[in-house]
Structure 1
Amino acid sequence: MYIFGYLRASTSDQNAKRAQSTLQKFVQDRGFRIAGWYIENESGASLQRPELLRLLDDAAKGDAIIIEQIDRLSRLDEKSWFTLKEMLHGKELKVISLDLPTSHIALSPQITDEFTGSMIKAINSMMMDMLAAIARKDYQDRRRRQAEGIKKAKEGGKYRGRQADSDLHEKIYQLRVVNKLSISDTAKLTNVSDRTVIRVAKKLACDRSTG
């Protein structure tokens, strides 16, 4: 059985690799290793995620996927969640999620009792469905609150769209450009993606060289 790590964040301003060391330690403490990482900045509300689909294509029958939380795998609507579950089931892929203790049994000694194994699978499936539904509701609630906030701001003439975080951008500039830290180290210290570090550092360096 190969274990693949899947890491996801919603936007390029978030660091999708944030939980990588946590997942790595969790697996190593149980005597296993992660064979490969699939990392992307995509919405969990969409099934069209290049790295997730690549993982599903690369994985062989009986392999496992480890994630930090079920919402990293899915904020999907019911139809799309069913489709994803069918894709997982088609290859008999195990999903190990840190927020779902019953899923950790996949890294324990093999269960030989058929009844116990079937019961654990049933419980895992039910819990995954519940956590996926909660993740979807959280996504919908946040979108609704955001829309309500924008509408209220527009009505009050205060809406200016999404504003850049100037303090964060300045920190990125100081670490990457002034102090010459690596892209990955800067990303870790500021909790953003490598892509955001490159974009912000390049823009501010350009602005200040011509200013």
Structure 2
Amino acid sequence: MTTSTGTKLGYLRVSTGKQDESLQHEALDKAGVLKRNRYVDHGVSGTKTERPGLDALLDDVQPGDTIVVYKLDRIGRSTAHVAKLIADLTEQGVFIESISDGLNSSTPTGRAMLQMLAIFAEMERSFIAERTIAGLAAAKAQGRTGGRPRVADSKQARTAQTLRDSGESVPEIASTLGVSIATVYRLTKAPSKDS
């Protein structure tokens, strides 16, 4: 299948409530996307996994339709996410057009560029995995382990319990030890009422 036979559906997203979609709407107007066929996520960061507008679009899109975006970064959280989304849509027979990137999966050049995007996304995932493994190995060689550093040691825990048993308030103990109130609650038990 090399040509789009269905409806053009537009997707627009801005990250903050202060931004507006006017530039994206103008681009979709020029691309021939009808206003009734546009899905918008306003004030939704690209890092969010839940985007109601995009979710609705993905539910409505049919084989032969073309999803039109102003830029590819509008549709995905990362290069890897965009590449996977495009691969899934292409497999369903849905075309992708990115106006400012000049990509259109209904053309051979557009398909080739989108395949390159998928290759770079895979490389990016591999590099991140390699760097993570190397970093963990280097830390282990230096005697460090992963995870959050401990906020309080056992000596602080004993001090916190002693202060709490003597009637000090939890906020005062937290201030004295330089830890959070939640940490004091986690480290100590409430003094028994009979003591």
TM-score relative to the length of structure 2: 0.49
**Over alpha carbons, which structure has the higher Rg?**
2
Higher helix share: 1
Q: Which fold has the larger relative contact order, with Cα–Cα distance below 8 Å and residues 6 or more apart in sequence?
A: 1
TM-score relative to the length of structure 1: 0.46
